[in-house]
Amino acid sequence: MSADKPIYVTQTRRGVYDSTSAVGIVYEIVTKVVENPNYSGDVGDSEHLLNLFVTNIVDSSDATQDTFDHYATLADLDLLPISRSTAIASGNTQYRGNVNSIKFDNLSVAVTAAQVVRDTINNVVDTYLKVKNSFMGTDTHYFPYNIELQNLKDQYATAYISARDARIAAEDLQKDKQLECDTKELILEAKKKCLEDIKTFYEYVTAMNGLVNAVGTRYKKTLLDVIVGYEAETANPDLAGLKDYLETVTAEGDLVFDGTWITEILDSGTDSTGMTLLAQIIRAYSQSTQAYQRISGEVTTSELASESCTSELKERQDAKSEAAKQEAAALAVLTTYCPDLDPGSL
């Protein structure tokens, strides 16, 4: 698993007493770079990457005053010595080592710094191996190019045309989906406005419908209150029978006091007024309820359709971006091999 890793690090993190610190303690990070004995690549890589910490020489006679300066660059790997004595002898004020110790007063800063140390070392090693394995080397080229290379140029031109056309097609698909999403959003907003208006009417009628069943009882009570008031003022006992009748009767002629009278339709004679007012309220409540539920369902359906369309639009936007990248890559290759060719002429 580690055969392709030329080095590894050990890192010790701890809190130590420090009389110069305002809080009496500092957080120390000690990082040591070690050659990987299991590395299957060039052993020179491990040796070259071992000393990655660049240190300043403050006083050539006192190593305790040396200070950490920076992490080694690729240039430092070739230019700076790995021995302090060698650096002093050659007139250098810096050298490279494989152990680094840094201290912080703040714990959160120290936690972040520990990761930064590891990430920086990783970047140096990764860059070094990429340069060595992918760039460095020597080869030979003869000119002019042979016929096979001309055929290769034709292939690059064909590849560019294909990538360009794919990008154009992706843009068209995105535009179509954008138009579809805009339309769905307009429909959704219109239905929401319609639902808002219907909801207001529905709430009014619902409140009215809640009072319908109380009308008959209230009507009877009002008549009884009138009779009681009349008795009190006239001392007329002859109305006692009428009171008993009103309190017990359920229906007599056109006087209906139970729940059925609300929805009764008056006769179809010349005096007919059609449905009663209360029945009309019930009917309006029923129809407004149906309309409110129907529009609510349509709003929900439109919301789901709009969300789905937005998701599909995102996919087409990503597809267009990827197609544009492919076109740019194909154009870069084409420009390299055919610098005098105008891509717009293809």
Q: With 80 as the cut, is the pLDDT of residue 234 above it?
A: no
User: Six-digit token pair at 66?
Assistant: 């040396």
Which residues face 7 on adjacent strands?
Answer: 35
In the prediction, which pLDDT does 272 show? 47
**Nearest Cα to 219, choosing from 283, 173, 262, 167?**
262
**Which pLDDT band, with edges at 50, 70 and 90, does 264 fall under?**
low
Domains of the chain with CATH codes:
7-135 (no CATH), 154-337 (1.10.287)
Burial class from Cβ neighbours inside 10 Å (0-12, 13-18, 19+) for residue 174 reads buried
Q: With 50 as the cut, is the pLDDT of residue 303 above it?
A: yes
Q: With 50 as the cut, is the pLDDT of residue 254 above it?
A: no
Quick check: 22 and 105 in contact, CB under 8 A?
yes
> How confident is the model over 267-299, as pLDDT tens digits?
445 554 545 667 777 878 888 888 888 888 888
Radius of gyration of the chain from its Cα atoms, rounded to whole angstroms: 45
Q: With 90 as the cut, is the pLDDT of residue 236 above it?
A: no
> How confident is the model over 103-158, as pLDDT tens digits?
998 888 999 999 999 999 999 999 999 998 888 888 887 776 665 556 667 788 88
Helix (H, G, I), strand (E, B) or coil at 235: coil
**Hey, which bits of the chain come out as E strands?**
7-17, 25-35, 53-56, 67-71, 94-97, 99-104, 251-252, 255-256
In the prediction, which pLDDT does 86 show? 93
What is the Cα–Cα distance from 27 to 12, expressed in whole angstroms?
11
Burial class from Cβ neighbours inside 10 Å (0-12, 13-18, 19+) for residue 259 reads exposed
* Mean per-residue pLDDT over the chain, rounded: 82
CA distance to 95, 189, 217, per residue, from 186 (Å): 69, 5, 49
What single-letter DSSP state applies at residue 133? I
Residues belonging to the chain: 346
* Torsion sign over Cα 272, 274, 276, 277: negative
In the prediction, which pLDDT does 268 show? 47
Which of 78-87, 148-157, 245-254, 300-309 shows the lowest per-residue confidence on average (mean pLDDT)? 245-254
What is the Cα–Cα distance from 24 to 112, expressed in whole angstroms?
21
Show contacts of 35-43: CB within 8 Å, 24+ apart: 35/6, 35/7, 36/2, 36/5, 36/6, 36/7, 36/8, 38/2, 38/3, 39/2, 39/3, 39/4, 39/5, 39/6, 39/7, 40/3, 40/4, 41/4, 41/6
Quick check: 3 and 9 in contact, CB under 8 A?
no
Higher pLDDT, 230 or 102: 102
